[in-house]
Amino acid sequence: MRYRSLGVKTLRSAPQEAESINAQLLLRGGFVRQEMAGVYSWLPLGLRVLRKVEAIVREEMDALGAQEVLMPALQSKEAWVTTGRWDTVDILFKLPSQTGKEYALGCSHEEVVTPLVQSYVQSYKDLPTSVYQIQTKFRDELRAKSGILRGREFIMKDMYSFHRTQEDLDAFYARAIDAYLRVYSRCGVQARVVEASGGVFSDKFSHEFQVLTDAGEDLILTSPSWKYGQNQEVATLKEGDACPDHAGETLEWKKGIEVGNIFQLGTRFSDAFGMTYAAEDGTKQPVIMGCYGIGVSRLVGAIVEASHDARGIIWPAAVAPYRVHLVTLRGKTPETQAQIQKAAQGLHDTLTAKGIDVLWDDRDEASPGEKLADADLIGIPTRVLFSEKSLAEGSAEVKRRNLVEAELVKFEDLLEKMGL
Ligand code: ATP
Ligand code: MG
């Protein structure tokens, strides 16, 4: 991809309203544009990151055996009245229609998925089953100020599972925890499994997945090497207590970003809709449910919060918008200019043929300094620079975004030294 085709320009400084690091860097790098508080457009670079995160989420949910669906954002008021949530969920956007009817704009999908799955589950033979979607959610958040971490419109993966027994739900729930941890580690961030309250959706414990960074809104009691923790709202341990898992470590409060949350719903929603199945003995039994959310767009923001430096974002390779940032500097003569173009084109074509995506900054008008600053800001893992100077050595300059030093690498060694 040629840089100029992106049509996006980086900004030297972040707009004033961008208080958080993720908003500053994503806005400056041209990944997103803020349309209004808590509402963002995803621009070409940002959308590539979002799509890569989505693909990882999709693979892991598919591996759990869940089926992907896409449910409507526009939901019937009657379903929300049926569950008793029309008047109790404060962040629910309610939409009047010119027909006099009212609708809900989906902040979650229990009210849609329960009747949907109810329509094809009749007997014990139809269970267990699970569906998920990756979709836009709407929430009337009072304060939307942490960039894409808290939007009024955002992308969520939500999965719902349906079971005959508590044991069956427990087993699926445990597999979901493992799948979630794989999602986060594949996205290049470490998330901890944290006990939290059930919130508005259930009165049991829920499990959150928290990425520890100072940008987080939540307070988590955990220790340096513990993979678990307790949210402040339910903590039974206290600061200074010995870590239950690691001798010699004590618990401390850390800030975290909630990038996922899973709940056991029990029969809360199946009861509301009268969703039952015929058991082997012919009796009607209630269906037991679980729900599993990942804040997909928030996760992109959490990655930025966890992985950046003063110059810009440092994308983990698996979610980087491109794997290689190719930079060509202008040659002083038509001959050297042609040589630089030819060498860069050769590398570009080789990488592309191998399925490695390349962003090529071929701008004439930008100075070398601007090009390098933009490469740092955009944060692609490997930068390869062709200049008159490197060409004189039969080389290109390779620099990893997470390292300080650049290295001159002979053309023939380039592929090997790029760490792809
Ligand atoms: P929070 O406590 O942060 O308000 P929540 O517990 O209400 O979130 P859930 O209903 O559990 O959120 O939604 C599942 C996931 O969706 C959350 O774990 C989070 O990652 C993400 N999410 C929730 N609200 C937002 C939002 N306003 N903007 C972006 N992502 C969100
Ligand atoms: Mg939550």
pLDDT at res. 7: 83
Q: CA-CA distance, 261 to 71, in Å (whole number)? A: 20
How is residue 410 written in tokens?
């002979």
Q: CA-CA distance, 181 to 352, in Å (whole number)? A: 31
| Model confidence pLDDT, tens digit, residues 350-377 | 999 999 999 999 898 999 999 999 999 9
Residue of 409, 412, 407, 413 lying closest to 395 (CA atoms): 409
Nearest CA to ligand 1 atom 29: 150
Cα-to-centroid distance, 6 and ligand 2 (Å): 35
Out of 42-51, 197-206, 357-366, which region has the weakest mean confidence (pLDDT)?
197-206
Work out whether the CA dihedral 239, 237, 194, 92 comes out positive or negative.
negative
Does ligand 1 lie within 6 Å of residue 90's CB atom? no
User: Is the N-terminal amide bond of 334 cis, ω within 30° of 0?
Assistant: no
Nearest CA to ligand 1 atom 3: 258
Does ligand 1 lie within 6 Å of residue 61's CB atom? no
Out of 120-129, 166-175, 199-208, 316-325, which region has the weakest mean confidence (pLDDT)?
199-208
Chain centroid, CA 249 distance in Å:
31
Does ligand 1 lie within 6 Å of residue 260's CB atom? yes
pLDDT at res. 198: 76
| Model confidence pLDDT, tens digit, residues 62-98 | 999 999 999 999 999 999 999 999 999 999 999 999 9
Does ligand 1 lie within 6 Å of residue 141's CB atom? yes
Does ligand 1 lie within 6 Å of residue 366's CB atom? no
Q: For the residues 233-259, what does the mean pLDDT come to?
A: 95
Does ligand 1 lie within 6 Å of residue 159's CB atom? no
Q: Average per-residue pLDDT in the chain? A: 95
| Model confidence pLDDT, tens digit, residues 151-185 | 999 999 999 999 999 999 999 999 999 999 999 99
Phi, psi at residue 143, to the nearest 5°?
-125, 120
DSSP string, 149-184: GS-SEEEEEEEEEEESSHHHHHHHHHHHHHHHHHHH
Q: For the residues 267-280, what does the mean pLDDT come to?
A: 97
Mutating to test ligand 1, I would choose from 110, 149, 204, 258 the residue with most ligand atoms within 8 A of its C-beta, which is 258
Asked if the model's pLDDT at residue 280 lies above 70, the reply is yes
Nearest CA to ligand 1 atom 26: 150
Q: For the residues 378-385, what does the mean pLDDT come to?
A: 98
| Model confidence pLDDT, tens digit, residues 5-20 | 888 889 988 888 788 9
Residue of 56, 102, 53 lying closest to 81 (CA atoms): 102
Q: CA-CA distance, 420 to 405, in Å (whole number)? A: 18
State the CB neighbour count (10 A cutoff) for residue 117: 23
Q: CA-CA distance, 32 to 225, in Å (whole number)? A: 34
What is the residue type of 335? E
State the CB neighbour count (10 A cutoff) for residue 362: 19
Cα-to-centroid distance, 295 and ligand 1 (Å): 6
Q: For the residues 397-409, what does the mean pLDDT come to?
A: 96
pLDDT at res. 4: 87
Residue of 9, 17, 6 lying closest to 373 (CA atoms): 9
| Model confidence pLDDT, tens digit, residues 300-352 | 999 999 999 999 999 999 999 999 999 999 999 999 999 999 999 999 999 99
Q: CA-CA distance, 195 to 235, in Å (whole number)? A: 8
DSSP string, 246-283: STT-B-EEEEEEEEEEEEEEETHHHHHHT-EEE-TTS-
pLDDT at res. 125: 98
Nearest CA to ligand 1 atom 25: 150
Q: For the residues 37-49, what does the mean pLDDT come to?
A: 97
Does ligand 1 lie within 6 Å of residue 151's CB atom? yes
What is the residue type of 17? E
pLDDT at res. 334: 96
Could you tell me the maximum CA-CA distance found in the chain, to the nearest angstrom?
Answer: 87
Q: CA-CA distance, 163 to 128, in Å (whole number)? A: 5
Distances (CA, A) of 39 to 34, 144, 410: 6, 9, 46
Does ligand 1 lie within 6 Å of residue 295's CB atom? yes
How is residue 397 written in tokens?
């300059």
Give me the residues paired with residue 104 across strands: 75, 94
